[in-house]
Chains A and B, each alone.
Chain A
Amino acid sequence: MIEIENVEKSFGALKVLDGVSLTVNKGEVVSIIGGSGSGKSTLLMCINGLEPIQGGRILVDGTEVHARGTDLNRLRRKIGIVFQQWNAFPHLTVLENVTLAPRKVLKKSREEADAIARRQLEHVGLGDKFGSFPGKLSGGQQQRMAIARALAMAPEYMLFDEVTSALDPQLVGEVLDTMRLLAREGMTMILVTHEMGFAREVSDRVAFFKSGKIHEIGSPEQLFGNPQLPDTRAFLNSVLK
């Protein structure tokens, strides 16, 4: 379970998160939508401790992420994250990209790590790309590799940060298919996305973010079908047109 309680975060004078609270249960898929610069991505970075926070707290399975003494490296093993700019390691092959963390962080043998990586890469449809370097792949393939890389750590939670925003339109579908598969398999996921149709389809709950706060949250049917607040309605009108 991920419990976000009243989290505050600023970059200098700019308040990015202004008292965010959200609880995500095991097996749940929660989508976060909202205009750019509303702090959605920052929230994901805070959940696995890549960004410090100034107020409130975040608990992952009861462990406080930002508490002194929390072993972040250990905690991050169970939280996978996929970035908008996939961040492939360009100097490693596709297979090495995926095996590196299982081998060096989880101390698995090369054979074991290879087996995991092969399975994950086949899972995301990259079974024929083991020896290629990321530079030779399309954006969509690199992004799926990044998903496999995160999955190879056998995480309990997956965070997706606008993973299709930097992709060419014809490549979006393949990445969404991969995520759809994960959702069906029961992975706990938080996704920041601009793909409204996708959010509506896979999510258990959808949260609308505005000025560093969760403005409105509810089931997809509720939020998309019958938004309660004028700002939510205005946002949805602007993006669904």
Chain B
Amino acid sequence: MFNYTFHWRPALNALPQMLQGALVTLQIAVLSMVIGIAVGVVLSVFSSSRNKLLYGIYATWVEVARNTPALFQIYMAYFGLGQLGIRLDSFLALLVGITFNNAGYLAETFRGGLRAVPQTQTRAARSLGFNAYEAFTLIVLPQMFRAVFHPMTNQMVWAILMTSLGVVVGLNSDLTGVTQDLNVRTFRTFEYFAIAAVLYYLIAKVVTLGARLIAWRLFRY
């Protein structure tokens, strides 16, 4: 059946390089999540704004993020912004693209999370003499955090998967980029990318398990 001989040894020898790439992958994903959460919170606040401009920013952002491919958003950052005089290298373009995507999805997540906490909770808190700020931070926010924790974990896994798109705009330092470089030099495509696939799987699993552990510690109720 096979006329092809698998050469796993050179591919395995490249493991240290690929692990280095995996680290970059994780960095981009984490960075895009951190910024994405911050922007997402701001956008979700905009979503209930009466100011037409702020609401417009929220609506446009969320609709574009959710209705176009992530790769399209990265292209916009890489090619599109370039035409406006903002030249981003492939690393930054990838980061901006994924962050844009994360923020759009997370904004909707946070909006849903806020709605998941009943109004009566605020009422009960206010009746005990808490001011609006205390009621929000002590009562509403912790409950909202639980509601959004799981979708946030999913988004983190998505962010990791999306980092693989950097190679399309020429990034060669993340896991896919490193693997592609090795592939171009050796043409042992299957071996190298199979190892990359295993690494991606492991990263995704570690993140999911870690999140589950945190949730188990945090949400005892």
Contacts and interface: CB of A to CB of B under 8 A. Distances in A.
A–B contact via C-beta, under 8 angstroms: yes
Interface of A: 48, 50, 73-74, 76-77, 79-81, 83, 85, 87, 89-92, 100-101, 104-105, 133-135, 146, 149-150, 153
Given A104-B134, A104-B138, A135-B221, A91 B127 contact: no
B189 interface: no
**Among the interface residues A48, A76, A90, A91, which one has the most CB atoms of the partner chain B within 10 A?**
A91
B128 A149 contact: yes
B217 interface: no
B127 to A, nearest CB: 5
B128 A105 contact: yes
B220 interface: yes
B130 A73 contact: yes
B189 to A, nearest CB: 50
What is the interface of chain B mostly: helix, strand, loop, or mixed? Answer: helix
A77 B125 CA distance: 11
Interface stretch (B49-57, B139-147, B191-199): B139-147
B124 A133 contact: no
Contacts of B139: 89
B120 A105 contact: no
Nearest to B141: A91
Contacts, number: 60
A146 B131 CA distance: 19
A48 B130 CA distance: 13
Contacts of B120: 83, 85, 87
Contact of A90 (B125, B129, B138, B221): B221
A90 B128 contact: no
Size bin of chain B's contact surface: 20 to 34
A76 B129 contact: yes
B188 interface: no
B212 interface: no
A74 B146 CA distance: 30
**Among the interface residues B125, B128, B221, which one has the most CB atoms of the partner chain A within 10 A?**
B128
Interface in B169-216: none
A153 B124 CA distance: 13
Given A50-B126, A105-B134, 12 more contacts: A73-B130, A76-B129, A77-B129, A83-B123, A83-B124, A89-B143, A91-B219, A133-B221, A134-B221, A135-B221, A146-B124, A153-B129
A101 B128 contact: yes
B128 A91 contact: no
A149 B131 CA distance: 17
B121 interface: yes
A163 to B, nearest CB: 13
Given A87-B120, A89-B139, A76 B146 contact: no
Nearest to A150: B128
A130 to B, nearest CB: 14
Interface in B108-154: 120-121, 123-131, 134, 138-139, 142-143, 146
